[in-house]
Structure 1
């Protein structure tokens, strides 16, 4: 993209819309838990709208490549998170004695390592015709290729995993 300011703006908009998506989804879940169904539905619709915006900004910025290149990018991103980002975050949380942050950073760090390996495996088998199913732990974000008895990261029963 020739105009660097526009590219910078597209990426800033992508980041903002992506964060709004997650924030509104969290608000939707909270409203639903409180029985505020209309607010929950509004937050969910807004979350989906923010996703539409983010995806279009990312596309226009030219950040979506071939599946192979996207898998390589995903491996790099997940590897950075589990090798560099989360260990640093954990040190800070431990120094401050924030047990909730320690737990969430630990779960994420361990799950990101699994994600990186799965992306690498998908890259190595990119032309595989056999369909693979993935199973997501709804607590820590671990992904498995078969339903486990329990999550090896957080201990949640395999029956709670979500199939993709």
Structure 2
């Protein structure tokens, strides 16, 4: 069923998605600042990294509305007010919100776009939903680590990377100060979350978490 974008539900859903991604970016930026205040610099980097991906999602939805440049699109919607402290609560809320986008919100928006004949928009909704699934799982894993106190220490030996200099520490807990660059322990991250690791290494680390 071909529909003019100006008269479509997809137009409103794209704007809702743009607003939601924009707010998520700001929530994660705020959470990153809170993590920094608590000396958890590596965790702040993860929030910032995710925030930038939400910005990219918002930009994509905005591009799909470009033919309506100059228009004002009025939409209703509900958006969460997440806690920013303690960090574990912020991670839990972020994971919940991302999972809702993956399971419910974006698949439904994609179905509407497909029904109305906007296949490019439908594809964007479906594909970004899968990315939000990755975000949800990342936040949930981090929340679990914060809750069971394994982000910085383990019962058995673990490995962590200093995100400032790249030093990899092996032991039951991270040092209070990096022996290489002398940055505090908040710069350490479990090695399975470190960027640019090879997939084989990441799989081994994830299995040990």
Fold match by TM threshold 0.5: no
| TM-score, length basis structure 1 | 0.44
User: Which structure is richer in relative contact order (CA contacts within 8 A, separation 6 or more)?
Assistant: 2
Larger Rg: 2
Bigger fraction of residues in helix: 1
Bigger fraction of residues in strand: 2
| TM-score, length basis structure 2 | 0.36
